[in-house]
Structure formats: C-alpha cells, structure tokens
Amino acid sequence: MKYPITLIACVFTLNLFAQAPVKITTASNAPSKPKLVVGIVVDQMRYDYIYRYWDKFGSDGFKRLVNEGFFCRNTNFNYVPTYTGPGHTSIYTGTTPAVHGIIANDWFDKKTGKYLYCAEDDAVKGVGTSEVEGMRSPVNNLTTTITDELRISSNMKSKVIGIALKDRAAIMPAGHIANAAYWYDGSTGSFITSTYYMKELPSWVQDFNKKELAKKYLSQPWNTLLPIEQYTESLPDDNKYEYIAKGETKPVFPHNLPQLMAANGGFNMIRSTPFGNSLTKDFAIEVIKNENLGKSAATDFLAVSFSPPDYIGHTYGPSSVEQEDDYLRLDKDLAELLKFLDKQIGKKDVLVFLTADHAAPEVPSYLMDLKVPAGYVNEEKILKDLKNYLLITYGDTLVLSYINQQMYLNHKVIVDKKLELQQVQEKASQFLQNMAGVSEVLTASALNNTSFNEGSRYLMQKGYNANRSGDILVNYLPAWMDFSKTGTSHGSPYSYDTHVPLIFYGWNIKQGSSAEQVYITDIAATLAMMLNIQFPNGCTGKPISFLVK
Ligand code: ZN
Ligand code: ZN
C-alpha cells in the first residue's frame, strides 16, 4: 500500500517533534476569563448626560466607570425604531430587527391580525403573579444572544440571569436558555418570572419580596438629593414642558409619593421615580449573593437594566430637575453596586459594560419655543386621511393598522380586487409624503429590492423585517413625534435617539476613550471575542478594534 506523500511527511514531522521537549499547557497559561460579566443598560440614557451632570456626580459611580474604564463616546444605534424591546435585543444579539425580528415593543401580527407584545408568550404562565404580565418569554426573538452563546459554550455551566423593572428589559438580554429572568409586578410591588424559566420563585426571591421594599421606597416624598438651587443644568422645576401627576397642581418637588400613589398606578409609581433604580440595584446585589454569581470556574452573566430614566424622560423630559435628580441618584446606586462587586468578586475578575437601549430628544414644545424646528404629528389623522384617499381611489380603505410608523395594508382585499400591491404601496406613499411632519416614506417593495448604505433609509432597512414589518415605513422630520406636549419620546433615526454611552470597565480593560464611531451591534461581537466564544447566530456587528486586539 502506497501512502500519499503528504501523510509520510506528516508522520516524519511528528517524529521530529516527539524528540523535542513537550510544552504542557497548564491552567496558568490558559486564556484568562472574567468570573462575572455585568451588563448594565440604562433605559433612555443620552451619551451627553455623562458630561452634563459630571460636576455633580460622585467619584465612585459614573465617574469611576469613565476614569477607570474605556468610554466609546460615539456609540450609535444602527436601525429604527429606537425603542426599548428592539434596543435590549440588539445589544445582546449583536444584530438589528431585520434579523432578530423584535421590530418594536408591540407590533401588528400579519398572521393573526392582532397586536403582539414583543415578550408575549401565551404558552407560559406567570410565576409569583396571576396577572397577564407574567405571560412572558423571549420566544419572539429569532436569534441567539451573547448570553445564550455563553451558556452553550460552557456546556450550561455559566449562569445567566436578567433583571429589570420592565419585563422585556430583563427577558431579551437573558436570552433563550437563561437560568432566570425577573421583572417587576406593579400590582404587588414584587419581582416575578414565568413558567418559561421555573415553576416556583426561589426562596431567596420570595424572601426579598417579603421585605416589601417598593412599599418602603414609596412611603416617603421624593425630594431632591441636593438643595434644589444647585440643579443649574436643568430648566426651572416649575415649567410647562412637564406632565403634572394626578393629585398635583404643579410638576414640582417634593413629589408626595405616599399621597400620589393611589391615583398614579399604585406600586407602578416607583417606575417613574429614582427609587425604582434603587430597588433594581438592591435586587441585583441579592441575585449575585444568592445565586453565587462569579464563584465558579465558569463565567457567569448578570444583565441588569435600569428602567426609571425612561419613565422619567417620558414624564418630565431630558432638561427637568426630575431627570437630573434621577441620574444623580442612579450614580449613587451604581457606586454601591460597583463597591459590592469589589468586595464580592474583585474588580479584576468582573467585566462590566454600561450602555443604553436608546436616547431621547428635547421636549418638542420646548424646542418650538426656542424657535428650533420641531413639531407634533397626529397619527390618527394621518391614518384617517390615508384611508379616505384609498377609499376614493380603490373603493376600500385597504389599511389594517398604522403602528410604529408603519402602514399594514390588507393584502387579501388587494388580491380580491385584483390590485397590484406595489402600485398601492406607491400610491399611498405619495399621499403620505405630503402630510405635515413627514420627511420620507419607503415602501416594502423598495426595501426588498434596494440596498441602502447610509442615512435614515439604511436605518429603516435595518429595522425592517420582511415577515413582520408593514408595507410602508414613514419617517418624521427631526424633533417631530406623535406625543403629548409634555415630556418626550423616542424611536427616530436621528442622533438624539441613536447616540448612547458605552463604557467597558474591569477585567482586562485599559483606561481610555475614543470618538470613533461604533455601533450598538458591536457590543455582542466584542464580548464574544473577549470571552473566546461564538458570536450570536444572527450577529452582524464587529468587534470594537480598540478593545480587542
Ligand atoms: Zn427604553
Ligand atoms: Zn421610552
């Protein structure tokens, strides 16, 4: 039998090496890895808050992250809509709604003709609650997360847990094979989960709930942390751009929480106060302690999201004393969490990153008073006018829904009437283009047939999922939205919504900063390279070059 020449060469080479001293790889020169990764997402955090409140921050919260970590100062979302569900999913999957399918918080389901919530799952039940808020899971996310990949790569030895007041902000980051995700039940003030993860709350979660911390936090008025005259970064406390809570006559401090609670959502009221951050921080510390995170040979992962800044932004806006106070208090909560991590695990063994699920614009009515172009669209009127136009043109209103700035057309009627779908989309688009506040309109046909490389059209394409998105995507002018004239909202492709902070800190992270543009989808790819594991299966982001060599 003749051996192929390459095999003979191989055997010969192996023999040569057999005589050389053998270098045995030991645990000490295996690639190092963190004991724990803590992913922190601040809901509705603009990157400029770091600088805006810098002088008021303590030295051991945000400042510690920036001064000891690496600050990617030009991190951007690369799709629309910039909402919470897609935001958290994109951070952890390393891709955009086009691929992971979480196209919004709620969307019109073309198959059932009903509205679907992003974390809705009728196949599961609540654990710790009988409310519908318990029927939640990550089942609507079509791809794996970095946390899923960590579990798979460690043969399920790594523990992964997600927590937040908002269910979607706990569930999407934790992924499909998480050990647990816990979120807040505003009807009881407790942390709950669903049968997707477990049959019963662990005893330590039950004990935590028994402490009734939400009730305690809400038993005192919300006063400013510092004397109110020191909030010079914000508008006067009493201004017309803020929502007035039921039972108050002005939107001013102190907000008497015990008195206001009953009329303003009961225990849900903690969501729109900084004490919701403190409650999340308290729970995060209990998770780490009771689940022994960071104490085994495998890398564990805790995904924490702080939801209150989003509620406070919607209620009072980015330039309110309320939002400033929220961030000053969040700074203290972060400091406490970092200090706990020092003691419990040690900074060199914990990898922390902090980012946001989207940012937010100034209150449009405030911008209008400053003579900055801004405005309010009326989506109800847009929908009504389009339906009337289509009724006159085609003899049917043809629209099933207008949600997330997407029109869903009635394909069945279009087929029955022997109309051309593309032609109807174009006709409707031309009509919509002329509506007040509309900047551009894209049809699904255009998105399916053209590849956009930059600008808002690129972002619309990255947010467009052919199976789930509508027939026509509408973009509004900068600082235009369908919202009340108090507080603000988000969702646009403009930098006020897309530009967020990103800070890496702790294990193997050198101090520094960069203004180079990176994308939110790069976070999961960077983590995969740091942890030497697979990218999430739909990942379209790239590792950030100055963080991983
Ligand atoms: Zn959000
Ligand atoms: Zn929001």
pLDDT greater than 90 at residue 129: yes
Return phi, psi of residue 189, to 5°: 80, 20
Which two structure tokens, joined as six digits, stand for 396? 């049917």
Which two structure tokens, joined as six digits, stand for 410? 């009635």
Q: 160, 227 in Cβ contact below 8 A?
A: no
Residue 6: CA count within 13 A, CB half-sphere: 0
Q: 97, 78 in Cβ contact below 8 A?
A: no
pLDDT greater than 90 at residue 345: yes
3-state DSSP assignment of residue 241: coil
CA of 65 to the centre of ligand 1 (A): 22
**What separation in angstroms does the CA of 15 have from each of 18, 20, 510?**
5, 9, 43
For residue 254, say if its preceding peptide bond is cis, omega within 30 degrees of 0. yes
CA-based R_g, the chain, Å: 25
* Pairwise CA distance, residues 168 & 101, whole Å: 14
* Pairwise CA distance, residues 224 & 230, whole Å: 10
Q: What per-residue confidence (pLDDT) applies to 549?
A: 81
pLDDT greater than 50 at residue 511: yes
Question: What's the pLDDT tens digit per position in 238-277?
Answer: 999 999 999 999 999 999 999 999 999 999 999 999 999 9
Q: 535, 109 in Cβ contact below 8 A?
A: no
* Pairwise CA distance, residues 180 & 201, whole Å: 10
Q: 491, 83 in Cβ contact below 8 A?
A: yes
Mean pLDDT over 323-331 rounds to 98
CA of 354 to the centre of ligand 2 (A): 18
Nearest listed ligand to the Cα of residue 488: 2
**Tally of residues, the chain:** 549
Question: What's the pLDDT tens digit per position in 251-260?
Answer: 999 999 999 9
CA of 310 to the centre of ligand 2 (A): 5
CA of 22 to the centre of ligand 2 (A): 59
Per-residue confidence band for 31, with pLDDT thresholds at 50, 70 and 90: confident
* Pairwise CA distance, residues 449 & 460, whole Å: 14
Residue the block writes with tokens 């601040």: 42
Q: What per-residue confidence (pLDDT) applies to 29?
A: 60
Of 123, 122, 124, 120, nearest to 140 by C-alpha is 120
pLDDT greater than 50 at residue 456: yes
Q: What per-residue confidence (pLDDT) applies to 30?
A: 66
* Pairwise CA distance, residues 361 & 328, whole Å: 20
Given 82, 84, 280, 488, the catalytic residue: 84
Contacts of 200 (CB under 8 A, 6+ apart): 127
Of 80, 77, 75, nearest to 465 by C-alpha is 80
pLDDT greater than 70 at residue 84: yes
Determine if residue 504 is left, alpha or beta; phi over 0 gives left, psi from -120 to 50 gives alpha, anything else beta. Answer: beta
Which two structure tokens, joined as six digits, stand for 190? 């407790």
Q: What per-residue confidence (pLDDT) applies to 317?
A: 98
Nearest listed ligand to the Cα of residue 318: 2
**466 burial via Cβ count (<10 Å: 0-12, 13-18, 19+):** exposed
Nearest listed ligand to the Cα of residue 43: 1
Nearest listed ligand to the Cα of residue 90: 1
The DSSP bridge partners found for residue 499 are 76
Q: Which residues of 391-404 are buried (b: 16+ CB within 10 A; e: fewer)?
A: eeebebbbbbbbbb
Q: What per-residue confidence (pLDDT) applies to 1?
A: 40
Q: 232, 55 in Cβ contact below 8 A?
A: no
CA of 312 to the centre of ligand 2 (A): 9
DSSP string, 257-279: HHHHGGGGTGGGGGGGSTHHHHH
**What separation in angstroms does the CA of 378 have from each of 26, 214, 406, 433, 476?**
66, 37, 14, 14, 11
pLDDT greater than 70 at residue 319: yes
Is 193 an active-site residue? no
Residues less than 5 Å from ion ligand 2, measured at CB = 310
pLDDT greater than 60 at residue 21: no
* Pairwise CA distance, residues 116 & 104, whole Å: 10
Which two structure tokens, joined as six digits, stand for 525? 């790819």
Q: What per-residue confidence (pLDDT) applies to 28?
A: 55
CA of 89 to the centre of ligand 1 (A): 11
CA of 317 to the centre of ligand 2 (A): 11
Give the CA-trace dihedral at 110, 144, 304, 504, to 10 degrees.
Answer: -130
Q: 477, 405 in Cβ contact below 8 A?
A: no
- Parallel, antiparallel or unpaired: strands 36-42 and 350-356: parallel
Mean pLDDT over 473-488 rounds to 98
CA of 303 to the centre of ligand 1 (A): 15
Mean pLDDT over 101-123 rounds to 98
Which two structure tokens, joined as six digits, stand for 523? 């976070």
CA of 62 to the centre of ligand 1 (A): 19
pLDDT greater than 80 at residue 81: yes
Return phi, psi of residue 42, to 5°: -100, 120
Question: What's the pLDDT tens digit per position in 185-226?
Answer: 999 999 999 999 999 999 999 999 999 999 999 999 999 999
Per-residue confidence band for 296, with pLDDT thresholds at 50, 70 and 90: very high
What are the structural domains, with CATH classification, of the chain?
36-365+493-531 (3.40.720.10), 378-435+438-476 (3.30.1360.150)
Written as one letter, the residue type at 485 is: K
pLDDT greater than 90 at residue 8: no
Nearest listed ligand to the Cα of residue 313: 2
